[in-house]
Chains A and B, each alone.
Chain A
């Protein structure tokens, strides 16, 4: 296989905890702790996990919306972390972000035309007519009509706003997008419309995408590969079908069993997880999951498990699979 478009190695993002009168740093929240993965050209990689597991931070760190603390990010041959702010700004033409909450990510004082023209103005030097042309074209691609161009965000429903957000992210024709929970804020019947739109655009515009979600049903449908995160670490990653059909990590197994079945006659057996996710400012020693894991061994509380390739395209970090 050729070089991956995006290659992330040992990415770490810590947030300082400040306390006291002088705001001294007393510790760090290890939001993202040593994660590595590749995204190939035109591939959709999903990052899935519960709230607070660091999936959104990981997405933002890749685009340096949050500065990572350590690790390497190579996008299309360029070392992202070594770029100057100006170079990074230019790079963002190729790397875009779709935010979770369309209510908060669109400027309420700009109408749709202004919202969509802005990225073009920032990244390209186009004439007025060319800008108009591009905006009209993008608008059609996301399934909106020209009469909506003069409207403001508050005049749209959540689904329509998310269409505007998607158009705004894709108008600079990026090669790579991070979509952070793009459908979580939407109604069920609207979610399917937006997911279809995203999948169609991903195919037609030949996009690579990181799709961040807590919804396991959605992830299964949209992604080719998946990373399961817990407390800032990747517990299991690999081909989506493999991970869903044969989950290896006890956490992935519990997560999948917790999804309600849509058939009342088919009562699923839940793997009960006791308690809550530990505080990421004070993660347990060893495997981060051992405090809730039913199959934890003494070793699990001492040593962090290394990722092991269990089968072709399926990697798990758990002592149960140590060779």
Chain B
């Protein structure tokens, strides 16, 4: 499979108290054509700003300080981060579309859905007529299974429920048949039954149109349902990256393992996929105590030297404070940023 997007050495920094603070530190990612790529992490780990940087939507004073993002557009390779405003506007909403977390706030309340869908169409296609736009919009709303598409088109956003609005957002994003869809927490604000509908819809659209998807979420369940490749972010870095099945079954990084174990799961009493059950039972003082990652997520830019997870890691060693572990390949296609796993591979 060809690569659609290659992010290389992406760094994002902000100004803070006269100095600079690093929010994203040397992130390398590549998304293949037709692939769904998951980015998972807790708040403040840099997953949303990565997406916004790709679309040149970083809010001031955040800025990209280093790195490239090579995107294979229909008209040859483009470097997204340094693309002139004119050109990036031509890509946004056409080749690369984005869905945001809050459908209630990402549509303009003073315009009808129809008006806003027409805007997305006519911006990229100056010669399109009203009737054609109407048909395209209707067809798109039908494909996302909106019950009364005609009525929805004439409605203002406040008349539509959250789940339906997210469908409208997806329909709008898919209007120009994009090649890459960036979904930033698309289901976080929605109920589980609606979430299941939306995820199924996105899986269906990907299968039908071959759209690549970058799925940003904090929910490992959403990742498991939709993604082929997953990158786990922590403190502005990728700490683990692997195909989804590999990541969930051969979890390597202590942080990923903690995330998996910290939440109960309907599949079993505890999601003990990463480690053997006996060990966790011995550690747990009470029978139904949940596993926790001690401490808290460090605020953006205030990271300890050495391994950034070491303060919360139950297997930290003195050397973890001395140097930052590199992202090593521990199995084919499985990358992990931890001294321990790196050594296990060398010992083999």
Contact = CB atoms under 8 A, between A and B. Distances in A.
Interface of A: 50-51, 157, 159-160, 187-193, 195-196, 199-200, 214, 216-218, 220-221, 244, 254-266, 270, 272-273, 275-276
B248 A188 contact: no
B220 A262 contact: yes
The 9 closest A-B pairs by CB, nearest first: A260-B221, A258-B196, A50-B191, A192-B262, A264-B244, A221-B264, A189-B293, A187-B42, A192-B290
28 contacts: A50-B193, A160-B296, A187-B218, A188-B262, A188-B263, A189-B293, A189-B297, A193-B294, A196-B289, A200-B286, A216-B192, A217-B265, A221-B269, A221-B290, A260-B196, A260-B225, A261-B225, A261-B265, A262-B220, A262-B224, A262-B263, A262-B273, A264-B225, A265-B249, A266-B267, A273-B197, A276-B161, A276-B164
Contacts, number: 128
B266 A220 contact: yes
B192 A187 contact: no
A157 B263 contact: no
Nearest to B219: A260
A191 B262 contact: yes
**Interface residues on chain B, size class:** 35 or more
Contacts of A260: 195-196, 199, 219, 221-222, 224-225
Contacts of A263: 224, 248-249, 267, 273
A272 B192 CA distance: 11
A214 B193 CA distance: 11
Nearest to B40: A188
A296 B195 CA distance: 23
Residue from B200, B220, B269 whose CB has the most chain A CB atoms within 10 Å: B220
Interface in B289-308: 289-294, 296-297
A205 B260 CA distance: 30
Given A188-B219, A263-B248, 11 more contacts: A189-B42, A190-B296, A214-B191, A220-B264, A244-B266, A258-B195, A262-B221, A263-B224, A264-B244, A270-B200, A273-B193
A262 B271 contact: yes
Nearest to A220: B264
B292 A214 contact: no
B218 A191 contact: no
B76 to A, nearest CB: 35
A262 B191 contact: no
Nearest to B243: A264
B293 to A, nearest CB: 4
A255 B290 CA distance: 23
B262 A276 contact: no
Given A192-B290, A262-B248, A272-B196, A218 B264 contact: yes
Contacts of B199: 260
A191 B263 CA distance: 8
A196 B197 contact: no
A43 to B, nearest CB: 15
Given A199-B289, A221-B290, A261-B267, A255 B218 contact: no
Residue from B147, B196, B291 whose CB has the most chain A CB atoms within 10 Å: B196
Contact of A262 (B196, B218, B267, B290): B267
B43 A187 contact: yes
A276 B221 CA distance: 22
B291 A192 contact: yes
A275 B263 contact: no
B192 A217 contact: no
Given A262-B224, A276-B164, A188 B193 contact: no
B157 interface: no
A198 to B, nearest CB: 10
B288 interface: yes
Contact of A258 (B161, B192, B245, B289): B192
Given A192-B263, A262-B271, A265-B249, A276 B194 contact: yes
